[in-house]
Amino acid sequence: MSVIELFDEYDRRYLHREKQYFRSLAAEIDDVPSDAPFAVDLGLFDQNALKRETDTATRKLVRSVERWLRDASEQGVLFT
């Protein structure tokens, strides 16, 4: 049983939506490699630390940063 199931059905609609998708997000992120080659090349992240990282929220952040950097680069942003 999840914590959300402890609440009455009526009261659940007032809870933050973030918490409701966290379980599926965690499973999705666990399947994603925790490396971020673009961010590592720029010196933002340590590759060895990323390999050891298991925290879901941190892995989500790393993935978001990596995606943002790649998209910015594709739009012509130059990182120095």
Q: What is the DSSP string of 39-50?
A: HHHTTSS-HHHH
Residue 9: its H or E element? helix 9-12
- Which of these ranges, 21-30, 34-43, 46-55, has the smallest mean pLDDT? 21-30
Q: What percent of the chain has pLDDT over 90?
A: 35
pLDDT of residue 33: 62
Tell me if the pTM is above 0.75: no
- Cβ–Cβ contacts within 10 Å for residue 32, how many? 11
**CA–CA distance, 74 with 21 (Å, rounded to integer):** 30
Domain map of the chain by residue range? 1-31, 32-80
Q: What is the CA radius of gyration of the chain?
A: 17
